[in-house]
Amino acid sequence: MPDKFHPQTRSAPGGAHDATRRALLDAGADVFAEVGFHHATVRDICRRAGANVAAVNYHFGDKETLYAEVLAEQSRLAMALHPLPAAGPDTTPAQRLEDFIRAFLQRVLSAELSARHGRMMAREMVEPTRALDRLVAESIRPQSAALSVILRDLVGPGPSEETLRLLGMSVVGQILFYCHCQPVLIRLFPGMPFNAERLDTLTLHITAFSLAAVRGLSQPPVAPARVPRRPKTPSPPAGRRRRS
């Protein structure tokens, strides 16, 4: 059964074949982003694609394979549409961080893509499918590495790899927040868009926030005097404390 004949690996473009295939990929992207893998029905996808109920099975074998294909394509599309600007020798690390953040935000919030990539990724976080492994390997890990390089340039050789990872996650966390938490943002600040419209604002804020943080953390000797922190060390015992 695993070897059932399905022309799923076809790559030759052109022809009526690919028209339906394309329509299915497009319809699938819409539907999967809208309602997620499980709520999506092949019937709906096929209807939107103007194809027969069996079209998904014919072209992709099954719903899950179509999903994986859509996810990968949306990822490639997001990357292609919003690539990291090439950095020259005179591009400062700060600028490269800003570039990274802007590109990342664009990919997950971009109106051109109807934010499909971002929404599909968000769902994947909550209900990972087999497609995630591939995505991590092909897309996320390289991005993570790229960010690490930028951050290393910013902090110098001192901080450990582990510290670098934490810094990176703080940056990425800020970005993804606007993607993952839209439903709350809409309810919390109605009327205020936190999406592609305000992409520039968000980019600049996250960049400035992160740069300030990284610089502040890289210069601990300067800091202690500025703010009268509690004499107690900032590493309190793990147990919960209660103060009057």
Question: Does position 163 bind DNA by CB under 7 A?
Answer: no
Chosen residue from 25, 40, 150, 154 binding DNA by CB under 7 A = 40
106-141 burial: b if 16+ Cβ within 10 Å, else e: bbbbbeebebbbbbbbbbbeeeebebbeebeeebee
- Dist CA 180 CA 121 (whole Å): 9
- Within positions 56 to 75, which residues make up the interface with DNA, using CB under 7 A? 56-59, 61-64
Cβ–Cβ under 8 Å, residues 100 and 150: yes
Q: Rounded to whole angstroms, what are the CA distances from 118 to 6, 107, 132, 150, 231?
A: 30, 7, 14, 23, 44
> Cβ of residue 14: shortest distance to a second copy, in angstroms?
20
Both structure tokens of 73? 């394509």
x/- contact string, 45-84, with a second copy (CB under 8 A)?
A: --x-----x-------------------------------
Question: Does position 43 bind a second copy by CB under 8 A?
Answer: yes
Question: Does position 229 bind a second copy by CB under 8 A?
Answer: yes
Q: What is the 3-state secondary structure (H, E, C) of 118-145?
A: HHHHHHHHHCCCCHHHHHHHHHHHHHHH
Residue position matching structure tokens 């993804």: 176
Helix (H), strand (E) at residue 185: helix 182-188
Chosen residue from 12, 86, 158, 221 binding a second copy by CB under 8 A = 86
Number of residues that bind DNA (CB under 7 A): 28
Nearest CA-CA partner of 7 in 55, 44, 73: 55
Per partner kind, with CB cut-offs from 5 to 8 A, the member of DNA, a second copy, none near residue 17 is: DNA
Question: Does position 167 bind DNA by CB under 7 A?
Answer: no
**Residue 58 or residue 209: which is nearer to DNA going by CB?**
58
Question: Does position 216 bind a second copy by CB under 8 A?
Answer: yes
> Cβ of residue 13: shortest distance to a second copy, in angstroms?
22
Question: Does position 141 bind a second copy by CB under 8 A?
Answer: yes
- Within positions 162 to 201, which residues make up the interface with a second copy, using CB under 8 A? 165-167, 169-170, 172-178, 180-184, 187-189, 194, 199-201
**Residue 140 or residue 149: which is nearer to a second copy going by CB?**
140
Question: Does position 243 bind a second copy by CB under 8 A?
Answer: yes
- Dist CA 81 CA 165 (whole Å): 27
Positions touching DNA (CB under 7 A) are 1, 4, 7, 10, 15-17, 19-21, 40-44, 51-59, 61-64
